[in-house]
Chain A
């Protein structure tokens, strides 16, 4: 047996000064952001790049302000679509997982098709959906297709991860199927479900954007993605950036809200939401 010398813990590892560390973790990305914007502005100015090739950050922010009435309306449209797709994905994913959990036959029959729906690129399905469905419905269906699978697979995983002894306890006390579902399986699956919903939130936005772009080329729609496509045709590059910025912000807010919900629901009991010192 060779013996190793344990290296002494470095100062940061041994004593992470809680608040200072948190401050650094907020400040560092902000510094990177500021540096990136400064570099962007510098490159545009030094090379005299015209705004229809690459607008500077100033031009983008000005566009964001001047076009706000238009862009905010598009943002609202995209957000509503995303929300509808997300709700459809959440309800559909959880309901399917519950059905699969109650009936193995159903699971064996349908699960492969859920996988096929997931692995077929949604951008390729969108044009077809737009042919057969009214546009608004098609967009929501796209958001649902990309969003429901993580909810389904995570919820299924959660429903199957029930503690064996707890299941035995429910059996001992003669719990009915509904009681076992409500008091044992659903609470056990909750952390997994919330994880799935967190992924589905971002994916619903992607689904909505993909469908809007597909619809946009057919000449209809008013969401943010449509604005991006339209501005591209008109060489209104600053507006493209402004819309992109809003989309990105919307994604961050959606993720943040879902992460916060997950934390609030689980903070009393689940490992993932507890501080490390516990």
Chain B
């Protein structure tokens, strides 16, 4: 809260890039170098995963893009659709925890970003109903967060991120705390949402399998300070589904990414 609001620079939407980081570093007040220098470009409509062990600064990178923290040096640029006054409206953020307000209903939780932007009520109602439908929670609009399962809470969180119709969706290990069955289902739902809405997604994860399954590009990061050590394209046929998850192609990609994460010659496994 005490952190100064950092508004990332905007650039005009003609370059085809949604996010561009140049020489970005982040050193915390405690003197810990968390990140960088880091260069990263993410194209419009691209699904990119940042993959790495805990403490490699991938969440920090996400918070920098969102403008929740200011970089120590370097530039963070985020494309902004014409007519959008604030960066917040073109970015949706999904935290590791559902981060819902326990004192109010699913519907009011999802409505929050529109309420903060003082959107007209009728428009907001329609929008909320629409996104709740998209994440399959239409009949839980009046439920309280505590009445929902972990997976459903995460869906509410996702709906809230989508309600402003952002261009960029930032997801910080959103499914890490869920069981595998729920995670697989949410992975599939996320992919189909992405296919329909074609938003830019930057997805932070520490799961090799999740990163390969979801993304078009996997960016592997190393810890202390966080740097990019490898980038891999995942050129699998679309749409991906359970068939892809069990294919030899998928396994080969996973092996490749695992090796990039923990090079065999280093002699120690990445945690």
Chain A residues with a Cβ under 8 A of chain B: 162-175, 179, 183-184, 187-188, 190, 268-270, 274, 278
Q: Give Cα A208–Cα B105 distance, bound, in whole angstroms.
A: 41
Give 10 pairs: A residue, B residue, CB < 8 Å, sorted on A.
Answer: A165-B95, A171-B1, A172-B93, A173-B88, A173-B113, A175-B116, A183-B101, A183-B115, A187-B104, A190-B103
CA distance A174 to B1 in the complex (A): 12
User: With A167-B1, A268-B144, A269-B146 in contact, is A174–B116 under 8 Å at CB?
Assistant: yes
Q: Could you tell me the distance between the alpha carbons of A268 and B103 in the complex, rounded to whole angstroms?
A: 8
Instruction: Say how far A90's CB is from chain B's closest CB, in angstroms.
Output: 20
Known: A187-B101, A270-B103. 8 other contacts (CB 8 A): A172-B88, A173-B116, A174-B89, A188-B103, A268-B144, A269-B102, A269-B104, A269-B144
Contact of B1 with A169 in the complex, beta carbons under 8 Å? no
Q: How far is the CA of A187 from the CA of B112 in the complex (A)?
A: 14
Q: Give the 7 A-B residue pairs with the shortest CB-CB distance, closest first.
A: A165-B99, A173-B88, A173-B116, A187-B103, A174-B86, A174-B88, A165-B95
Is the beta-carbon distance between B97 and A172 smaller than 8 angstroms? Answer: no
Check B67–A270 contact: CB distance below 8 A. Answer: no
Judged by DSSP, the binding face of A is helix
A64 to B: closest C-beta gap in Å? 44
- From B88, B97, B115, B144, residue with most partner A Cβ within 10 Å: B88
- Cβ contact of B117, chosen from A173, A184, A187, cutoff 8 A: A173
Cα A12 to Cα B1 in complex, Å, equals 48
Q: Which residues of B contact A187 (CB under 8 A)?
A: 101, 103-104
B111-128 interface bits toward A, Cβ cutoff 8 Å, 1 = contact, 0 = none: 011011100000000000
- Chain A neighbourhood of B164, CB < 8 A: 173
CA distance A278 to B145 in the complex (A): 13
Point out which of A166, A190, A278 has the most chain B C-beta atoms below 10 A from its C-beta: A166
Contact residues in B for A183 (Cβ distance below 8 Å): 101, 112, 115-116
Q: A166-B101, A270-B102 are in contact. Are A173 and B144 (CB under 8 A)?
A: no
Q: Is B50 an interface residue (CB 8 A)?
A: no
Binary contact readout B59-100 vs A (1 if CB under 8 angstroms, 0 otherwise): 000010011100000000000000000101101010101010
The answer to whether B5 touches A171 (Cβ under 8 A) is: yes
